[in-house]
Structure 1
Amino acid sequence: QFTADEDGAVTVDWVVLTAAIVGLGIAVLTSVSGGTTGLASKISSKLNTMTIMNHGG
């Protein structure tokens, strides 16, 4: 009866699936973070070089 019991197998499946999803999320964040940092730096430098013009009034 002990060897035929499959209650723990479902738990192991969920743990493995959850770990895979978390690992995939970390991999995506790692690969995207470099690009977003570079883009934010370019936007910041562009905004710092712009001038505000006052028309009228």
Structure 2
Amino acid sequence: MPQNRFETAHSTLWKKLRPTFDHIKPRSKGGPDTPENLQLAHARCNKIKGNK
């Protein structure tokens, strides 16, 4: 079992958990849809994060 995310090949992680766009500052809190406010996140992580 890897101790952190850097011990697993990046491509392996993305195969298992589909990528989504995550808003760094949530849209519900006034965050824009600009590239500066978007990052890739696993769908599960993005859902868990919610609007935090």
Based on CA coordinates, which of the two structures has the bigger radius of gyration? 1
TM range (shorter): under 0.3
Higher strand share: 2
TM-score for the superposition, normalised by structure 2: 0.21
TM-score for the superposition, normalised by structure 1: 0.20
Which structure has more RCO (C-alpha within 8 Å, separation ≥ 6)?
Answer: 2
